[in-house]
Amino acid sequence: MMRPPRRTGSALDHAEAAFKAATSKPVAEAPKAKSVPQGKEMVTLRLDRAVLEHFQDDGPGWQDRINDALRAAAGLDDA
């Protein structure tokens, strides 16, 4: 006749472990740090008011649109 496996620790220890496992929140992964896109640099640039308004008229993302236009003018377009 086989005996059941012998338990180590007290019944209280097992109950506490079961309770902790049932009520503990899973550990969330740490949020990844946002990084500055490689190769971009903050600069000060003077533009004509009309040029600036042209790019800002379409709303957020105007700095990216200026960058794209400058890349195209310099012949650096990837696409």
Among 63, 35, 32, 60, smallest CA distance to 47 is for 63
Long-range Cβ contact pairs of 62-69 (< 8 A, separation 24 or more)? 67/40
Q: Tokens 């506490």 label which residue?
A: 16
Q: Quickly count: other Cβ atoms within 10 Å of residue 46's Cβ.
A: 5
Tokens of 52: 């600036």
Q: Give pLDDT tens digits for 32-72.
A: 776 655 778 889 999 999 999 999 999 999 999 999 999 89
pLDDT, greater one: 25 or 65: 65
Residue 11, classed as helix, strand or coil, is: helix
Residue pointed to by tokens 């019944």: 11
